[in-house]
Each structure stands twice: as structure tokens, then as C-alpha cells.
Amino acid sequence: MPGRGEQNVSVSQKAYEILEKAKKKGETLSDVIVRLSETKIAGLQRRGEKEIMTSDGKRLVVRIDQDKCAGAESCVSTAPEVFALDPKELGGFRRGAQPLGMREVGEETVDGDTIVLAAKSCPYRAIYVKDVATGEELAGYP
């Protein structure tokens, strides 16, 4: 019988074997599931679209167009606390590569102007920034 806050979950034999294989020393199967889930969620957050609450009180939606990113790294240089480049993903456009990602940004840790400046610094216009409150497109939009 599960303890407080715990639940039993049934998995197929194949899933069980995969989880067992992924286990690191000292980990339980629950630890493995949480670790793998967090990794996937972090990966999803790094790509695509993210809402950021800035230190100057703005709510900005930042979106990356991976098809346009060619790895200039101007955004990473301007706002390394927001953007990250995965060099292994550069040049793989035909296979769906996603070279540019966003870091997990704490609320109110980066000012909006820095994010907009980083997006505008992209020579390929691969980063879009929109103000949630006003709907104003601040960077990257045609």
C-alpha cells in the first residue's frame, strides 16, 4: 500500500526495463521517472515560446524561430541569462535541429529592455518578443 503522497503505477515490462537501465547509482524508479520528466519538460521550455516576467514589471512572450537561427550568438552575448546556444544543433536545419534555447529564467531577474535588445541583435530575426499586456510586438516581427 502506498505511503502518504505516493501512488502505485503500472508499467509494461518494456517500460520497466528501460527505467531500470536508466537508473543511476542510489536512485529509485521514482527518482528516474522524475529526473527524466524534468529533463523533457526543461527541454520543452528551452524551445518554442516562453512567458517571462521581467524585473521592470513587464510580461513578455519570447518565441524562437529555429528555422531562422544560424548561431550568430548575439542574443547569448547580450542576455546569457535568457538564451543558450547548443552548438551541436547548428547546421542541422534539414533534420529539424533546434540550436537556440531559453534558459529557465527566474521571475523579475532580467529587465525587459535586455530581452528586447538581445532579440533585436539577432541578424537573422529568429527571436520574437511581444508585450503580453499591450499586445505590442517589440522585436523580430516583420
Please write the tens of the pLDDT for every residue from 80-99: 989 888 766 565 554 555 66
* pTM of this structure: 0.62
Overall average pLDDT of the 58-70 stretch: 88
Mean pLDDT throughout 44-68?
Answer: 82
Angstrom distance (rounded) from CA 111 to CA 54: 5
- What is the per-residue pLDDT for 44? 42
Helices (H), 52-138: 74-78, 112-120
Instruction: Classify domain 48-139 at the CATH topology level.
Output: Alpha-Beta Plaits (3.30.70)
What's the mean pLDDT when you consider all of the chain?
A: 81
Q: What is the pLDDT of residue 12?
A: 86
pLDDT at 49: 81
Query: Greater confidence, 86 or 132?
Result: 132
CA distance 129 to 117: 10
If DSSP codes are grouped into helix, strand and coil, which group holds residue 129? strand
Say if residue 142 is exposed, middle or buried (CB neighbours under 10 Å; 0-12, 13-18, 19+): exposed
pLDDT tens digits, residue range 5-39? 778 888 888 878 888 888 888 988 888 787 766 55
Query: Phi/psi of residue 131, each to 5°?
Result: -80, 120
